[in-house]
Chains A and B, each alone.
Chain A
């Protein structure tokens, strides 16, 4: 197995506040990698670093063997141009906590937008593919609805379809169910479960321990900007080794 994401001593600061204090981890191709931890632990920030929405201050971050945001020539690092960063992002799908669907477009237009604008796919082809993806997330009948006419769970499933439309190699999920009513969480997790079964590489920041235990292949517990504990989700969740992990899990489980 090869590493889809490889992080070596990644540091990130916002002004004086150091959010990531040296993250070392590897996400293998095809695995579901769960990041858990208290809020403010840096897990969402790390996720955003993977597709260069945040610039890292130190360390190296590789996606699919390529350095994120930079090009290395000899000892020197060169910043990538915006267009080069955009090119890399095509292969990385991202799902946000607050969905971030485009409110002025219907569900199907949301899904069609990037393939047409970024890849130059023909409109008719993009629409067929978008309908296929909406069917896959169980929303074929909602294609013509605007985001404001959809429930949170439906919006998040459209957002997943939108990310999948770019045929990504890697999917990033930033607390995808945290903004949802408890009733609606299940539908979104079902879609994610299907996606995991299809062999997609997924990095999931989540508070859904049940999902992590059931679907996750690896799990990392982060706190205060460092990795406290990592391993198989079932092992970590049932038999945590560190005090900090134990106290966190005792509160959330």
Chain B
């Protein structure tokens, strides 16, 4: 014991330094050079996929398709307007869905049996019937109620109220609300109960606790699936074709049926849908990344980081093979 204490200052530096110095000056550890596992399956499956893609390409090039029609019609004003309406109705229906969804989720979790039952019934009906049927119900409402009469507040012919736009908005929005309600409910339940207790112990009311403490924290859970719902909505909105709202599918089909370029115009519609969903998928990805902060230790890579990593991975694979 005393030996050591006497020695350390004289012939070696303090223990902390001596460790690092020793490691640095000693021989470097030998890097492992092993033969990597060969992934033959990846190469075989790659070849099969490429072959199938080539076959598909050949089939389409020989099919009776006027490709120039697709490129000619892609930016025709009625198609662009249709795409704009698709975007508009999707955004508006989503807003209706989110606002009503949060309200329904809060109602569902309320201690009041009346409000929670009402919310339960709403979700039961709007989630339990197809959105297509709901759109047709709104569209044909005038058959049973020719006049919309809200007493002294409002009175008008149902056909004037239920324009294609209103049918589309109500049909998509109210249906979406039922799904959003479940997403929001999961988000609200995900907030630790201790948060509510802490707020109530401070004398905060239920409403204040909800809006100031619970909802802001629930957003982290709610926002990512909501982005997903929106991408879904962009596609589901094609169903409002049925209520004669002139969105993307209807505007392209109109050209298709008059010019006999049915498939070509469906391609045009598909390209637009793919373009819109792709753009929002990228948004969605960054949104999820943003909301993952704090909850996961390392953030998922961005799209560009992913592509870069894949390219490097492929390169090194080839180098080994």
A→B interface (CB under 8 Å): 51, 53, 82-83, 86-90, 92-94, 96, 98, 100-104, 113-114, 117-118, 148, 159, 162-163, 166
Question: Which residue in chain A gives the minimum CB-CB distance to B206?
Answer: A82
Smallest CB–CB gap between B29 and chain A, Å?
Answer: 35
Interface of B is mostly: helix
- Known contacts A86-B200, A117-B212: does B205 contact A102 (CB below 8 Å)? no
Smallest CB–CB gap between B215 and chain A, Å?
Answer: 10
Given known contacts A86-B205, A118-B202, what 4 new A-B pairs fall within 8 Å (CB)? A86-B200, A104-B217, A114-B203, A163-B201
Q: Is B194 in the interface zone, CB < 8 Å from A?
A: yes
Q: Is B213 in the interface zone, CB < 8 Å from A?
A: yes
A117 contacts which of B197, B208, B216 (Cβ < 8 Å)? B208
Smallest CB–CB gap between A237 and chain B, Å?
Answer: 29
Q: Is B63 in the interface zone, CB < 8 Å from A?
A: no
Task: Point out the residues of chain B lying under 8 angstroms from A114, CB to CB.
Answer: 199, 202-204
Cβ–Cβ contact A53 & B197, under 8 A: yes
Task: Point out the residues of chain A lying under 8 angstroms from B203, CB to CB.
Answer: 86-90, 114, 118, 166
Cβ–Cβ contact A100 & B197, under 8 A: yes
Q: Is B195 in the interface zone, CB < 8 Å from A?
A: yes
Interface size in chain B (residues, C-beta < 8 A) = 19
Smallest CB–CB gap between A117 and chain B, Å?
Answer: 5
Cβ–Cβ contact A98 & B194, under 8 A: yes
Question: Which residue in chain A gives the minimum CB-CB distance to B193?
Answer: A100
Cβ–Cβ contact B201 & A102, under 8 A: no
Task: Point out the residues of chain A lying under 8 angstroms from B15, CB to CB.
Answer: none
Cβ–Cβ contact A103 & B217, under 8 A: yes
Cβ–Cβ contact A113 & B212, under 8 A: yes
A51 vs B198: C-alpha distance in the bound complex, in angstroms? 11
Q: Is B41 in the interface zone, CB < 8 Å from A?
A: no
Q: Which of A51, A86, A93 is packed against the most chain B CB atoms within 10 Å?
A: A86
B208 contacts which of A104, A118, A166 (Cβ < 8 Å)? A118
Using a CB-CB cutoff of 8 Å, which residues 191-234 of chain B contact chain A? 192, 194-195, 197-206, 208, 212-213, 216-217
Q: Is B294 in the interface zone, CB < 8 Å from A?
A: yes
Cβ–Cβ contact A163 & B294, under 8 A: no
A96 vs B200: C-alpha distance in the bound complex, in angstroms? 13
Cβ–Cβ contact B204 & A118, under 8 A: yes
- Known contacts A102-B195, A102-B213: does B201 contact A83 (CB below 8 Å)? no
Some 14 contacts from A to B, beta carbons below 8 A apart, are A53-B200, A53-B201, A86-B203, A89-B200, A90-B202, A93-B201, A102-B195, A102-B213, A103-B217, A113-B212, A118-B202, A118-B208, A163-B201, A166-B202
Task: Point out the residues of chain B lying under 8 angstroms from A101, CB to CB.
Answer: 198
Task: Point out the residues of chain A lying under 8 angstroms from B197, CB to CB.
Answer: 53, 96, 100
Cβ–Cβ contact A100 & B198, under 8 A: yes
Task: Point out the residues of chain A lying under 8 angstroms from B212, CB to CB.
Answer: 113, 117
Task: Point out the residues of chain B lying under 8 angstroms from A98, CB to CB.
Answer: 194
